[in-house]
Amino acid sequence: MHAVLTSFIGDLEQARNVDELEQLFLKFIGDLGLSVFTYVSLRTGGVAEGEAARPVISNYPDEWRQHYDGQQYEMVDPVLDRAASSVVPVMWSDLIYDPTVKGDQKVIFHEAREFGLTQGMTIPIHSRNSFAIVSLASDQPDSEFRQAFPHLKHLVHLGSLYYHERVTTLREEAGREVVTPLSRREREALLWAARGKTAWETGEILRISEHTVKQYLKSAMEKLGVSSKPQAVVKAIMTYQIFP
């Protein structure tokens, strides 16, 4: 695991409140060459039903946030639309050049540039009863950001999942969600996934079929209330069920 990510995960466990988490996340993305972010949490279906996006934590320029809210851009923001149906990072520039994105939606990106938000990516996080995103922005030229994106994508994706899980945990301490314990095989499947093994490779190690490994991963995701394997790995680690 990358040293920056490993250090960040360790620091998250020591954080006592959301403010400390914000500073840790800023340091994490700063080490990766990014400087501003917004964390947004919605109820499941909120975007589809037109519910306004609610920044929970953000260091975006105040002027941009006021302009965005004042124009009610959350109702037409193509980033929110794409993230609602995706489980992988969304690169903003892909939407700028996407012919299916309407002109009035692309205006958001052009106006964001005036506030120093020239490039960015958004990490969708889907859980059983909620939908969250972490959006990160940069003032780098398009070519430089695109060159760095393949390297950043994996680290920022995982870091955002850990960050979201820790924020959720601290905010729900009073009524902490009860996580159903995973079976031994489910833990083993997630453990090897955390170590970078494919379902086929895990099957070879455990001497079971690839299909069976995928079934264990699916049941683990259902128990943990998440919708992707990376999220399941993160939650299993954060609930002390696996130790990569």
36-45, 128-137, 159-168: which has the minimum mean pLDDT?
36-45
Is 51 or 194 the better-scoring residue by pLDDT? 194
- Please write the tens of the pLDDT for every residue from 50-64: 334 444 688 999 899
Mean predicted confidence (pLDDT) in 166-178 = 68
- Reply yes or no on whether the pLDDT at 84 is more than 60: yes
- Reply yes or no on whether the pLDDT at 133 is more than 90: yes
* pTM, two decimal places: 0.71
pLDDT band at residue 46 using 50, 70 and 90 as cut-offs: very low
First-last CA distance in the chain = 10
Same CATH topology for 3-173 and 182-238: the answer is no
- Long-range contacts from 73-80, C-beta under 8 angstroms, 24+ separation: 73/108, 75/50, 76/102, 76/104, 76/105, 76/108, 77/53, 77/105, 77/108, 78/102, 78/105, 78/106, 78/108, 79/122, 79/133, 79/135, 80/47, 80/53, 80/133
Helix, strand, or coil (residue 217): helix
Mean predicted confidence (pLDDT) in 93-110 = 92
* Token couple for 177: 């969600």
HSE-up of residue 153 (Cα within 13 Å, Cβ side)? 12
- Reply yes or no on whether the pLDDT at 238 is more than 60: yes
Helix, strand, or coil (residue 18): helix
Distance CA 73, CA 108 (A): 7
Let me know: does 29 contact 58? Beta carbons within 8 Å: no
Residues 6 or more apart from 170 whose CB is under 8 A from it?
Answer: 15, 17, 18, 21
- Overall CATH class of domain 182-238: mainly alpha
Q: What pLDDT score was predicted for residue 108?
A: 95
**What is the residue extent of each domain of the chain?**
3-173, 182-238
- Please write the tens of the pLDDT for every residue from 211-232: 999 999 999 999 888 888 998 9
Where does 3-173 sit in CATH, by number? Answer: 3.30.450.80
Residue 147 dihedral angles phi and psi, to the nearest 5°: -70, -35
pLDDT band at residue 113 using 50, 70 and 90 as cut-offs: very high
* Other C-beta atoms lying within 10 Å of the C-beta of residue 59: 15
